[in-house]
Amino acid sequence: MIANDWIQIFISLAFVVLMAPLVGRYLAWIYQSQSLSLEKGLYRLLKIDADKEMTWKEYGVAIVVSNGFFFVAGFLVLWAQAILPLNPRHLSPLSAEVAFNTAASFVTNTNWQAYAGEAQLSNFSQMLAITFLMFVGANTGMASLVAIFRGFTRSGTTMMGNYWSDFFRFFVRAFLPACFLMALVHVWQGSPQTFKTTVTAKTMEGSQQTLIVGPVASLESLKQLGTNGGGFYNANGAHPYENPTPLTNTLEFLEMGIFTFALPFFFGRMIGRPRQGQVFFAVIFSLYLAGLGVIEYSEKMPNPLIAHQAISQQITPLQDGGNTEGKETRFGITQTSLFSNTTIAATTGAVDGAMDSMNPLSVLVYLVHMFLNEEPGGKGVGFAGLIKEAILAIFLAGLMVGRTPEFLGKKIESKEVKLAVLSLLITPLLVLGLTALSVVIPAGKSSMDNPGPHGFMEVLYAFASGNANNGSAMAGLNVSTPYYAILIGVEMLFGRFLPLLPLLAMAGSLARKKTHPETAGTFKTDTTLFVVLLFGFMVLFAALTFFPPLILGPLLEHLSILHGISF
């Protein structure tokens, strides 16, 4: 790495480290203060009793029912696009299976795209279906996380707060203002923001070229701040209208991380133990840095296959500068590595380069990020996953020393452990089960354009991305077929809500328990020892569960190209 690479990485990460505690403190204030007049006005307008608290079951029902309604509304907009306004190009509606996939994708904060936005969606669909569901997905995740936090802050109660109050507090006081301000920055940097659908430009050769435009800047800020990831254009963050300059590329990195890396500090403030939040931040940031280091190292290395071919043909290798395939020359390898590591770790899914062109070790990191899904994870649910793994790690520690495990003053008993395990097992069941099915049946194999480990890796990546609410993809797999559109759509819905409901039940169980003061025998969870324990549990879980498919995919491809073997 040259000095410029180190400077880019250091400055970008320094902003995150400095801003995360401040944003975490602000988020805690949002949920610990009284409702604002604007929020009360929204409650009256929507006839919501925001003061009525809910049990975990009522909270869960509110999440599922409201998101079910939003899903149906989004599906109908996409399916009826041809007869709706702001469609001067008379675009046809999405097919039923792709409309289902898209509605499921955006309501779950996944934003997987089985369509090309500029070619298939009108401005009305982009604004009402896509942008609206982006707000819904992010706000739902944050509200769910706050309810889970209350399991540790409350004692002797069955009440978990009010879903709609939690939903609108983040929306009104943080999310919407941040999106508005950053949209202005994107407009300043060159992103279009207009109701027009096309403009005609005269090229240098004197011919006419029609350019697709629309409300791009508003969608761009929302997609990053909400860890959504879905782009207005099919090329996503590699398109010059979505990501015009190196400055916007850096700002989009910060947008992805500003709320997600603040969640540990938010948690520490909510439970009244700031040091606990610092410990969790150390865990997720260390994993994030490890992933970034592997990706940067991998992409700085040229593809060995090209070197083997150069030697056999007695020519000069073409990749002396590293693996530049699939990368925007405006950004280069380091910016692409930083962006891609962040978008996968934060389960955003936006891309500024071709994921299918990344070296196998980079794809290995992406897959591990999605399997763990909490480094830092997406809006709310990613950090909730880290909490459940912390509970299971503490449970194992309790077994080793023969004591009833405790976490933040709450006794961890069999019910909480079973619910945490149930939530944890959803990922391997969905990802590995659907991958295994898809590589053996004709409907799944017919979409695979690449043989060998790379083709397997593309299928594994698709289902890992759908389950993790990520949304990025390796382009070598055709996912617009009815088989993949429906199957990944169902997986996104299951991957979002099936792990979440057991965590709400676990939080409800913890809220009913009394908070016990620490004693001399209490295992402290704000120490280096706890960090090591949590790391150990995460590595053990990932290795026992996902090591075999990683061997068959990125590791096998990496070892193959080292020996000059292609498939």
Contact 84, 468 (CB under 8 A): no
Which residues on adjacent β-strands are paired with residue 202? Answer: 208
Q: Which two tokens mark 42?
A: 């929204």
Which DSSP string corresponds to 233-301?
Answer: STTGGGSTTTS-SHHHHHHHHHHHHHHHTTHHHHHHHHTT-HHHHHHHHHHHHHHHHHHHHHHHHHHHS
Could you give the angle at which helices 414-438 and 452-467 cross, rounded to 10 degrees? 140
Residue 302 has pLDDT above 90, yes or no: no
pLDDT in tens, 480-489: 899 999 999 9
Query: Rounded to whole angstroms, how far apart are CA atoms 78 and 84?
Result: 9
Confidence check: pLDDT of 321 > 90: no
Rounded to two decimals, the pTM is: 0.94
pLDDT at 403 over 80: no
- Residue 322: pLDDT band by 50, 70, 90 thresholds? confident
Q: What is the pLDDT of residue 342?
A: 94
Q: What is the mean pLDDT of residues 74-102?
A: 94
Evaluate whether 217 touches 181 at the Cβ level (below 8 Å): no
* Percentage, residues of the chain above pLDDT 70: 97
CA distance 420 to 541: 13
Structure tokens at 544: 């026992």
Are the CB atoms for 191 and 241 separated by under 8 Å? Answer: yes
Higher pLDDT, 323 or 266: 266
What's the pLDDT score for residue 106? Answer: 95
Q: Provide the residue ranges of all domains of the chain, joining segments of one domain with +.
A: 20-270
Least confident range from 12-21, 128-137, 393-402, 490-499: namely: 393-402
Positive or negative, the CA dihedral 162, 164, 168, 171 is positive
| Residue pLDDT, tens place only, 4-16 | 788 888 999 999 9
* Cβ–Cβ under 8 Å, residues 567 and 560: yes
**What is the tens place of the pLDDT at every residue in 362-374?**
999 999 999 988 8
- Residue-wise pLDDT for 514-539, tens only, equals 988 887 777 889 899 999 999 989 98
**pLDDT at residue 402 in the model:** 73
- 395 is written with which tokens? 């449970």
Give 3-state DSSP helix, strand, coil % of the chain, rounded to 5: 65, 5, 30
Between CA 461 and CA 475 the distance in angstroms is 10
Which amino acid belongs to residue 90?
H
pLDDT, average across residues 445-455: 91
How high is the mean pLDDT of the chain?
Answer: 91
Burial class (CB in 10 A: 0-12, 13-18, 19+), 26: middle
DSSP per-residue string spanning 68-133: HHHHHHHHHHHHTGGGSSS-TT-PPPPPHHHHHHHHHHHHTT----SS-HHHH--HHIIIIIIIHH
SS3 410: strand
Tokens 């982009």 correspond to what residue? 126
Distance between CA atoms of residues 80 and 212, nearest Å: 21
Q: Is the peptide bond before 405 cis (omega within 30 degrees of 0)?
A: no
**pLDDT of 314 strictly over 60:** no
Query: In this predicted structure, what is the pLDDT of residue 309?
Result: 61
Kindly report which listed range (144-148, 226-230, 379-383, 457-461) carries the lowest average pLDDT score.
Answer: 379-383
Tokens of 138: 């992010």
Phi-psi region of 377 (alpha: psi -120 to 50; beta: other; left: phi over 0): left
Length of the chain as a residue count: 567
CB 353 within 8 A of CB 326: yes
**Cβ-count burial of 114 within 10 angstroms (0-12 exposed, 13-18 middle, 19+ buried)?**
buried
pLDDT band for 400, please (50, 70, 90 cuts): confident
- Residue 318's pLDDT is 53
Q: What is the average per-residue pLDDT within 261-269?
A: 95
Number of neighbouring beta carbons within 10 Å of residue 53: 17
Task: Annotate 364-431 with DSSP letters as a single string.
Answer: HHHHHHHHH--SS-STTHHHHHHHHHHHHHHHHHHHHHTS--EETTEE--HHHHHHHHHHHHHHHHHH
DSSP 478: -
Model confidence at 337, pLDDT cuts 50, 70, 90, reads: very high
Residue 315 has pLDDT above 80, yes or no: no
pLDDT at position 313 over 80: no
Report the range of poorest mean pLDDT among 6-15, 69-78, 168-177, 496-505. Answer: 6-15
Report the pLDDT averaged over residues 24-50: 93
Q: With contact defined as beta carbons under 8 Å apart, do 50 and 43 qualify?
A: yes
Q: Sorting pLDDT into bands at 50, 70 and 90, what band is 185?
A: very high
- Longest Cα separation, the chain: 81
Q: How far apart are CA 529 and CA 279, in angstroms?
A: 10
Q: What is the mean pLDDT of residues 78-103?
A: 94
pLDDT band at 317; cut points 50, 70, 90: low
pLDDT of 226-241, one tens digit each? 999 999 999 999 999 9
pLDDT of residue 567: 77
Q: DSSP label at 36?
A: P
Is 264 in contact with 377 (CB distance < 8 Å)? no
**Residue found under tokens 């299976």:** 97
At residue 346, does pLDDT exceed 60? Answer: yes
Task: Give the single-character DSSP code of 515.
Answer: P
Average pLDDT over residues 386-407: 87
Would you say 230 and 134 are in contact if contact means Cβ atoms under 8 Å apart?
A: yes
Location of structure tokens 């955003």: 348
> Quick check: 132 and 74 in contact, CB under 8 A?
yes
